[in-house]
Amino acid sequence: MSACIFCDISEGAVQTQMVYEDDRAVVFKDRNPAAPTHLLVVPRKHIPRVAESVEDDAGLLGHLQLVAGAVAKREGIKDFRLVTNNGRGAGQSVDHLHYHLLAGRRMNWPPG
Ligand code: DGP
């Protein structure tokens, strides 16, 4: 076990409802779903938040979006929201970069 729950999930030390895995990313169900479909798209690399990513992460960041699109397509999801919270004031509670993939209900804009 490490200090980071998403590192533990990525490494298989903590079990969760995994939806997709590859060498750079994992996708699993959020334990507190905010929509009928609520997945977390997470890099295996520990980056605390998007603002702490660096130039070398550019390929990984793009990969996460490709993975989100591919998983949504595989799940038959056409409309979805992909969002990341950067910092406590923006709603971030887990300090390991992740994108929320939300679908299955009407999404409001602007988000609260
Ligand atoms: P955020 O607040 O943007 O940092 O989102 C963190 C999300 O992670 C939140 O919606 C709840 C979810 N979460 C936290 N801990 C766990 C866990 O141990 N397992 C799963 N599946 N989800 C978790």
| Domain ranges for the chain | 5-103
Instruction: Output the CA 83–ligand 1 centroid distance in Å.
Output: 13
Return the CATH architecture of domain 5-103: 2-Layer Sandwich (3.30)
Element (H, E) at 8: helix 5-11
Q: Provide the whole-model pTM.
A: 0.98
Distance 30 CA to ligand 1 centre (A): 6
pLDDT in tens, the chain (112 residues): 889 999 999 999 999 999 999 999 999 999 999 999 999 999 999 999 999 999 999 999 999 999 999 999 999 999 999 999 999 999 999 999 999 999 999 999 999 8
Question: How far is ligand 1, taken at its centre, from the CA of residue 17, in Å?
Answer: 12
User: Which of 17, 94, 102 to mutate for ligand 1's pocket (most ligand atoms within 8 Å of CB)?
Assistant: 94
Return the sign of the alpha-carbon dihedral for residues 96, 33, 63, 9.
Answer: positive
The confidence score (pLDDT) of residue 54 equals: 98
Q: DSSP 3-state assignment of 9?
A: helix
Check pocket membership of 35 for ligand 1, CB cut-off 6 A. Answer: no
